[in-house]
Amino acid sequence: MALASLLLSLAGAAHASTAWTETVIRAPVGAGRESVEIDVTVLRPKGTGPFPIVVLSHGSPRSAAERRTDGRQRLTAQSEPFIAMGYAVIVPTRRGYGHSGGEWAEGFGPCSDPDYYGAGLETARDVRAAVDAVRAEPWADARKVILAGQSAGGFGSVAAASQPFDGLVAVINFAGGRGSMDADKVCAESRLVDAMARYGGAARVPELWLYSANDRFFGPSLARRMYDAFVRSGGKAEFVEAPATGLDGHSYFARAVDDWAPRVRRFLQRAGALR
């Protein structure tokens, strides 16, 4: 498939002396009868590949005004461990964020009656669009696709895996959830637990869930309830209560790469997802 791309060819170097190249493509996402395009950052190891793929999905700020101000998502520091393992990383900037097209599609409705399940499936649409946009590229090995993400992006990755597709082999959920309105305050927690149960009932690949011990968005008790519901419904997942990080462990994904990278590597080895 020919990609409408901004082939911004940049070179980067990671802290482990991992060399990578960066390009930006535009991926179409169906929105009703129309289609909009989202930015997708592509970070590839040096060489021709084909490389297995990690889709790395960003979170969602509590403030609506901040969705557009962060610009295109790159997540380079968090991508580097995956690049070092031989993966190409694609980072979609979803609808309603940065300069991507379309309106924000991930809203869950009023705090008193949230539809987290539907909101997660909207995130999943953008995740799938990013995969489809690179599936035919010669550097991409679409037989091995990992979905990974933080907060709303982790939740959306779990949601996307409830609609299995060819090549999906594993999911990594960093502090996934929705509905955090303030520190230690989540709208209708039971609805969030119910959504994870529904996703678990349709999940088919192994997942790794990592939540910091002092996460102020989705604390340890809620994280465990979501995980238990997911597994009881049939989902296959491993739970890690990661170390406390700073004043709010929701920053674990960004600030504790050296802690989570070896955990992720071991999980991917167990899942048979490393070359």
Distance between CA atoms of residues 189 and 177, nearest Å: 10
pLDDT at position 185 = 97
Query: In this structure, is residue 44 part of a structural domain?
Result: yes
pLDDT at position 70 = 86
Query: In this structure, is residue 66 part of a structural domain?
Result: yes
Structural domain count of the chain: 1
Query: In this structure, is residue 104 part of a structural domain?
Result: yes
- Structural domain of residue 43, as residue ranges? 4-270
pLDDT at position 213 = 98
pLDDT at position 126 = 98
pLDDT at position 135 = 96
Query: In this structure, is residue 189 part of a structural domain?
Result: yes
Query: In this structure, is residue 231 part of a structural domain?
Result: yes
What is the separation, in whole angstroms, between the first and last Cα of the chain? 26
Record the pTM: 0.93
Distance between CA atoms of residues 151 and 167, nearest Å: 24
CATH number for the domain including 89? 3.40.50.1820
Which residues in 78-92 are b (16+ Cβ under 10 Å) and which e? bbbbbbbbebbbbbb
Query: In this structure, is residue 82 part of a structural domain?
Result: yes
Q: Which residues, other chains included, contact 191 with Cβ-Cβ below 8 Å and sequence gap of 6+?
A: 114, 115, 116, 179
Distance between CA atoms of residues 63 and 65, nearest Å: 5
Query: In this structure, is residue 10 part of a structural domain?
Result: yes
What string of pLDDT tens digits covers the 275 residues of the chain?
334 343 333 334 333 446 899 999 999 998 667 789 999 999 999 999 999 999 999 999 999 889 999 889 999 999 999 999 999 999 999 999 999 999 999 999 999 999 999 999 999 999 999 999 999 999 999 999 999 999 999 999 999 999 999 999 999 999 999 999 999 999 999 999 999 999 999 999 999 999 999 999 999 999 999 999 999 999 999 999 999 999 999 999 999 999 999 999 999 999 999 86
Query: In this structure, is residue 275 part of a structural domain?
Result: no
Tokens standing for 177? 């959830």
Q: Which residues, other chains included, contact 258 with Cβ-Cβ below 8 Å and sequence gap of 6+?
A: none
pLDDT at position 1 = 37
Indicate the helix (H) or strand (E) that contains 254: helix 252-255
